[in-house]
């Protein structure tokens, strides 16, 4: 019998309570903890987030590793297919550091855009403006004498951060175009635990807009799945106790419902895997490395958690580039 086939024991409930909490707070704090003990390398995250003294559960750390690894693999596959002659739109980016890490690997697209609520963008821009370690890489790529940076906007030659609400598509599109978004370029759009906070109608509108706005495009979405079972219901209950409803949870019933959402909103191909499948496909050397970092008491609990998150990707056009061939 699975860990939560009928009910969840105290250990599972404790983990789920903590995991639900991380979706409410700045999840970058959880990422920073995983980075601090060696799950992956990110010298930039420390400039955005303070390290909490609270130790995070190994299941959470491995889950974040799988998430970062899976999304990164798909991003790099897209960049390889397009030879970096493309643009990336990270929607709901928060304090994400992908731009700097891609620059370090010489894998930057023609332009990298980030979008989030103005309040979050203001915080991020404050960190960038006053920390040379973050600002200098942007300036190095900027050919103009002046760099546009104010409360809700940064616009440079290769990187832009925009304060906008993803539910207000006319405003979003206007701001992106002002920062020289190019609809003719192959475009990768990324959402991580973003669509689930929108109503199904709102997320469908965003997906349709993305499919209709770019001739050649790929969409990556990371979020919950299998939320109809007991384990998923406990996750939802924990969030509701914190006055947080997942407005779009009905689209997170299964991998099939996740794919169908993409296909019914203008995308030509769609694939989805749960995060346990992502984890199980890690190269043996990498799996051994991260499993040596912390002792894991209950493997079954990790499996249950991983099976309730998924990585989805879809494509439109780009047959000459081979976008349909991208897989994890």
Domains of the chain listed by start with CATH number: 10-27+59-325 (3.40.50.150)
**Res 1: pLDDT:** 28
Known binding-site residue numbers: 67, 92, 165-166, 192
Q: Which two tokens stand for residue 130?
A: 């006053």
Alpha-carbon span 140 to 126, nearest angstrom: 19
Q: Which two tokens stand for residue 17?
A: 């309570």
Q: Which residues contact 130 (CB under 8 A, 6 or more apart)?
A: none
Q: In what order do the strands lie in the sheet with 111-116?
A: 148-150, 153-155, 159-163, 111-116, 87-91, 187-192, 217-224, 309-316, 269-274
Partners of 187 in beta bridges: 87, 217
Q: What angle do CA 154, 194, 244 make, to 5 degrees?
A: 115
**Res 15: pLDDT:** 52
Alpha-carbon span 235 to 31, nearest angstrom: 20
Q: Which residues contact 93 (CB under 8 A, 6 or more apart)?
A: 114, 115, 116, 161, 190
Known binding-site residue numbers for S-adenosyl-L-methionine: 67, 92, 165-166, 192
What is the enclosing helix (H) or strand (E) of 125? helix 118-130
**Res 16: pLDDT:** 53
In tens digits, what is the pLDDT along the chain, a chain of 328 residues? 233 333 444 444 445 544 543 443 447 888 999 999 999 999 999 999 887 777 889 999 999 999 999 999 999 999 999 999 999 999 999 999 999 999 999 999 999 999 999 999 999 999 999 999 999 999 999 987 778 898 899 999 999 999 999 999 999 999 999 999 999 999 999 999 999 999 999 999 999 999 999 999 999 999 999 999 999 999 999 888 888 889 999 999 999 999 999 999 999 999 999 999 999 999 999 999 999 999 998 899 999 999 999 999 999 999 999 999 999 8
Alpha-carbon span 107 to 62, nearest angstrom: 25
Q: Which residues contact 1 (CB under 8 A, 6 or more apart)?
A: none
Q: What angle do CA 227, 305, 195 make, to 5 degrees?
A: 50
């Amino acid at each position: 019998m699975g860990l939560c086939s009928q009910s969840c024991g105290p250990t599972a409930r404790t983990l789920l309570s903590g995991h639900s909490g991380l979706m409410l707070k700045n999840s970058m704090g959880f990422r920073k903890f995983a980075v601090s003990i060696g799950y992956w390398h990110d010298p930039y995250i420390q400039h955005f987030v303070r390290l909490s003294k609270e130790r995070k559960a190994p299941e959470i750390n491995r889950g974040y590793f799988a998430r970062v690894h899976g999304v990164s693999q798909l991003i790099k596959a897209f960049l390889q297919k397009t030879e970096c002659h493309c643009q990336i739109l990270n929607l709901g980016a928060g304090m994400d550091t992908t731009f700097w890490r891609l620059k370090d690997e010489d894998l930057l697209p023609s332009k990298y855009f980030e979008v989030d609520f103005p309040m979050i963008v203001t915080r991020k821009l404050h960190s960038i403006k006053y920390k040379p370690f973050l600002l200098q890489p942007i300036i190095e790529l900027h050919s103009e004498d002046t760099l546009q940076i104010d409360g809700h906007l940064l616009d440079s030659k290769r990187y832009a951060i925009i304060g906008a609400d993803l539910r207000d598509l006319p405003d979003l599109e206007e701001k992106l175009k002002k920062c020289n978004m190019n609809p003719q370029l192959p475009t990768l759009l990324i959402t991580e635990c973003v669509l689930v906070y929108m109503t199904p109608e709102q997320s469908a509108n965003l997906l349709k807009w993305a499919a209709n706005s770019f001739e050649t495009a790929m969409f990556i979405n990371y979020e919950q799945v299998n939320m109809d079972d007991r384990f998923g219901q406990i996750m939802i209950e924990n969030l509701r106790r914190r006055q947080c409803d997942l407005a779009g949870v009905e689209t997170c019933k299964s991998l099939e419902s996740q794919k169908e959402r993409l296909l019914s909103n203008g995308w030509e191909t769609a694939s989805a895997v749960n995060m346990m499948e992502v984890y199980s496909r890690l190269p043996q050397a990498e799996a051994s490395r991260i499993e040596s970092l912390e002792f894991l008491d209950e493997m079954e609990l990790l499996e249950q958690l991983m099976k309730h998150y998924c990585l989805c990707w879809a494509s439109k056009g780009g047959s000459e580039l081979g976008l349909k061939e991208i897989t994890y």
